[in-house]
Amino acid sequence: MAENSDKTFYITTPIYYVNDIPHIGHTYTTIIADAISRFKKMDGYDVFFLTGTDEHGQKVEKSAAEKSMTPIELADKVVMRFKDLWKALNIDYDYFIRTTELLHEKGVQKIFKSLQRQGDIYKGDYQGHYCVSDEYYLPEDVPLEKDGSKICPDCGKKAIILKEESYFFRLSAYEKKLLDFYAENPEFVRPQSRMNEVVSFVKSGLRDLSITRTTVKWGIPVLEDTDHSVYVWFDALHNYVTGLGYDWNLGLFVRFWPADVHLIGKDILRFHAVFWPAFLMAAGFDLPKCVYGHGWWLKDETKMSKSKGNVLDPQVILNTFGSDSLRYFLLREIPIGLDGNFSHEGFIHRVNSDLANDLGNLVQRTMTMIQNYFGGTITEMDKAEKEDKKLAKEFKAVKTKIHQYYEDYSLNKALEEIWSYINTINKYLADNEPWKLAKNEENRGRLGRILYQAACALRVIGYFVYPVMPDSADKIWTFLGENKSPAGQCFSELQFDQFKPKQKTRKPEILFPRVDLKEFLKEEEKEKTMATINFNEFKKMDLRVAHILEAEKVEGTDKLLKLKVDLSTEQRQLVAGVAQEYAPEELVGKKIAIIVNLEPVVIRGVESQGMVLAAEVGGKAVFAFYPDDVPAGSKVV
């Protein structure tokens, strides 16, 4: 809305590594960025919001090979998953940068060349303790083990000694300049505690940075020395300028650079707060205003990671709750600088209590009363009394606070403030009991006033929650008969009382259904088992054609048949729940498919050494029969 505004705002997420699949961590960073970006737009800024993927490096090369794919095929696939997830979560980014895009590669090569020419990049030999898993040489200050090796502080694996020809970035030359910059810009790293970490790291001495590899083929080649490819961070960090048009859309770049905030997980702080400003200083670019390191979501008190297998799949939560509940929970639960623990109980409590009860019920009740008592028209009647004016008065104070909190990226505090106002509205209705007033025609004027006040308050609530819950905010405004999204109104122009006379409202629908924890966990378990079988797991299943030799009913049951089958190498006994579909004599002599390598189970006292495959049609089992000339024991693939 503010494309002509002279106030601009540029926000980024890190680019996500395509060797990973999207999880709550990525989701969290991206939701924070989206909420801030939406707020800034409402506040009159012209905003550019960049996200994307980091696609080069050894790990991607390796994973792709393991999956018999090319690296770019793997990247394409994972990018699709990220984009689908961002769509489902209502992430409204302006550009999705991929480091394999030509515009990025060319930009990096150009910057590389120019730093090389001015002497900030030089060629040398590098030897060090190298962590293959994290693809970096360990810092010097990592202590030696007894056997002279080093253990990677990030992943705990033993590092190897590596020596290779490499280009170096003259990081050591920027030590003093960086320290001066931090001193002059104490807000550059947030939260403050993290700034202290960064300063002491730089004070401990900076060594030149190896920025190319000859051992990694999947990377951006160095111009005129193509045995070398640009190494992870020099490649990845430059996405923040190439994704903004550096070297392909100068107008865009000039308008938005430098970044107002790079949002990152605290684990990549050093790269963003030390290497990145040094690269930029060398290239002569202005420096970003802020690098914000947010905390991690822990599961069972440990960091979620693919290797630990405790990654939460946001898609499962989205399928059940929709995007706003997840956005709300992640932003409400903790301040963005701190760690949080994700628990299903905590999540469902928030959904049921804050969303379904406090907000959802308020909307539902108010809108239904307007429908029932005033035919859906918002009708301002009777003069406002002192207690009615209180809602409007409080709105002014609340608006100022919420603006401050959003501006400070204190999203959890903004939400707390909004919910405290929601409680005030709920209390206003509880105190005035409009549903009782409605029983007597004499009170109609008073009733109209109360519902009018409540509708005004709901309208501003819809506005306030928009950055965090855009879907619900749009719905609330639609119920209220506003034919626009809250996004279209400027924060500074928001008033308590902005309805047209006799505004027509719409019938509300339920915003947040209540959820039962047990039901949800069951659903999640089901989705997980369905979602996680991969080809390797499928390959583990031994499926064979079996020739039915005998069939009889299992005594004392209506549904079970006991089958004796031949697999050519052996005979097996199976129990199948098909007695209502097939008579035993129908089956003898037929050939069916069975899973051979299932653990045997005992059903009604009879052992079943395998399982028969059948189609389920209207609750009934239907076997697939093979023709006579298919030998028993043939593999089913």
Nearer to Zn ion, 135 or 523 (CB): 135
**Residue among 131 and 261 whose Cβ is closer to Zn ion:** 131
Shortest distance, CB of residue 38 to Zn ion, whole angstroms? 37
Q: Please tell me whether residue 131 binds Zn ion under the rule CB under 5 A.
A: yes
Distance of closest approach, residue 207 Cβ to Zn ion, in angstroms:
18
Q: How far apart are CA 522 and CA 613, in angstroms?
A: 25
Least distance (Å) between residue 307 CB and Zn ion: 11
Least separation, in Å, of the C-beta of 136 and Zn ion? Answer: 8
Closest by alpha carbon to 27, among 62, 44, 61, 51?
51
Tally of CA atoms within 13 A in the half-sphere of 450 that contains its CB: 23
Beta carbon nearer to Zn ion, 154 or 300: 154
CA torsion angle for 215, 217, 222, 223 (degrees, to 10)? Answer: 130
> To which H or E segment does residue 293 belong?
strand 291-294
Q: What is the dihedral of CA 533, 536, 537, 540, to 10 degrees?
A: 160
Near Zn ion by CB under 5 A, which window of 27-35, 127-135, 569-577, 603-611? 127-135
Nearer to Zn ion, 59 or 572 (CB): 59
Q: How far apart are CA 258 and CA 279, in angstroms?
A: 14
Contact mark string toward Zn ion, 322..351, x via CB under 5 A: ------------------------------
Residue 457 CB, nearest approach to Zn ion (Å) = 53
Q: Which is nearer to Zn ion, 63 or 341 (CB)?
A: 63
Task: Name which of 1 and 138 has its Cβ closer to Zn ion.
Answer: 138
Shortest reach from residue 157's CB to Zn ion, in Å: 5
Between 148 and 284, name the residue whose CB sits nearer to Zn ion: 148
Verify binding: residue 587, Zn ion, rule CB under 5 A. Answer: no
Q: How many CB atoms lie within 10 A of CB 244?
A: 25
Size of interface with Zn ion, in residues (CB under 5 A):
6
Question: Does position 305 bind Zn ion by CB under 5 A?
Answer: no
- What does the DSSP assignment read for 63-109? HHHHTT--HHHHHHHHHHHHHHHHHHTT---SEEEETTSHHHHHHHH
Bond before 508 cis per omega within 30 degrees? no
**Does the bond joining 71 to the residue before it have cis omega, within 30 degrees of 0?**
no
Point out which residues pair with 165 in neighbouring strands.
125
Residue 139 CB, shortest distance to Zn ion, in Å, is 12
CB of 306 to Zn ion, least distance (A): 14
Q: Which is nearer to Zn ion, 60 or 632 (CB)?
A: 60
Residue 152 binds Zn ion (CB under 5 A): yes
Which range, of 150-158, 188-196, 319-327, 580-588, touches Zn ion by CB under 5 A?
150-158
Please state, in angstroms and rounded to a whole number, the distance separating the CA atoms of residues 544 and 592. Answer: 8
**Shorter beta-carbon distance to Zn ion: residue 133 or 377:** 133
**Residue (155 or 636) nearer to Zn ion, CB:** 155
Which residue's C-beta sits nearest to Zn ion? 152
> What is the closest distance, in whole angstroms, from the C-beta atom of residue 349 to Zn ion in the complex?
37
Q: How far apart are CA 412 and CA 621, in angstroms?
A: 52
Min dist CB 152 to Zn ion, Å, is 3
Classified as helix, coil or strand, 416 is helix
The letter for the amino acid at 411 is L
Selected binder of Zn ion within 125, 154, 227, 519 (CB under 5 A): 154
Among 134, 164, 358, 581, binds Zn ion (CB under 5 A): 134
- Sequential DSSP letters for 369-418: HHHHHHTTEE---S---HHHHHHHHHHHHHHHHHHHHHHTT-HHHHHHHH
| Minimum CB distance to Zn ion, residue 234 (Å) | 19
In angstroms, the CA 92 to CA 320 distance is 22
Amino acid occupying residue 483: N
Taking contact as CB under 5 A, which single stretch among the options 149-157, 371-379, 416-424, 499-507 is the one that binds Zn ion? Answer: 149-157
Cα gap 302→312, rounded to integer Å? 12
Q: Of the two residues 138 and 595, which places its CB atom closer to Zn ion in the complex?
A: 138
Stretch that binds Zn ion, among 10-18, 144-152, 489-497, 518-526 (CB under 5 A): 144-152
Q: Which stretch binds Zn ion (CB under 5 A): 85-93, 147-155, 211-219, 314-322?
A: 147-155
Query: Is 134 or 471 the residue whose CB approaches Zn ion more closely?
Result: 134
Whole-number Å distance between alpha carbons of 324 and 90: 9
Cross-strand pairs, 544: 594, 635
Cβ proximity to Zn ion, 267 vs 387, nearer residue: 267
Contact 470, 462 (CB under 8 A): no
Among 133, 185, 424, 571, binds Zn ion (CB under 5 A): 133
Give the separation between CA 569 and CA 468, rounded to whole angstroms: 63
**x/- map, 207-246, Zn ion, by CB under 5 A:** ----------------------------------------
Q: Report the residue from 72, 151, 155, 630 that binds Zn ion according to the rule CB under 5 A.
A: 155
Binding residues for Zn ion restricted to 97-126, rule: CB under 5 A = none
Tokens read off for 510: 């339920």
Q: Which residues have CB under 8 Å from 213's CB, separation 6+?
A: 164, 166, 219, 228, 229, 231
Q: Is 408 helix (H, G, I), strand (E, B) or coil?
A: coil
Shortest Cβ 137–Zn ion spacing (Å): 11
Phi, psi at 170, each rounded to 5°: -75, 65
Give the HSE-up count for residue 348: Cα atoms under 13 Å, Cβ half-sphere.
Answer: 12
Record the tokens describing residue 112, joined without a space.
Answer: 């590389």
566 near Zn ion (CB under 5 A): no
Strand ranges for 509-570 from DSSP E = 543-553, 561-566
The distance of Cα 77 from the centroid of its chain, to the nearest Å, equals: 17
- Return the range that interacts with Zn ion (CB under 5 A); candidates 146-154, 240-248, 305-313, 596-604: 146-154
What binding mask, one character per residue, do residues 55-94 give for Zn ion by CB under 5 A, x or -?
----------------------------------------
Give the nearer residue to Zn ion in terms of CB position, either 136 or 406: 136
* Contact (Cβ atoms closer than 8 angstroms) between residue 49 and residue 263: no
β-strands 377-378, 503-504: how paired? antiparallel
CB atoms within 10 A of CB 153: 14
Q: How far is the CB of 230 from Zn ion (least distance, A)?
A: 21
The answer to whether 544 touches 594, Cβ cutoff 8 Å, is yes
Nearer to Zn ion, 157 or 528 (CB): 157
Select the span of 97-105, 154-162, 211-219, 447-455 touching Zn ion (CB under 5 A): 154-162
3-state secondary structure of 389: helix
Provide, rounded to whole angstroms, the least separation between the CB of residue 105 and Zn ion: 27
Give the nearer residue to Zn ion in terms of CB position, either 154 or 385.
154
> Can you give the binding site for Zn ion, defined by CB under 5 A?
131, 133-134, 152, 154-155
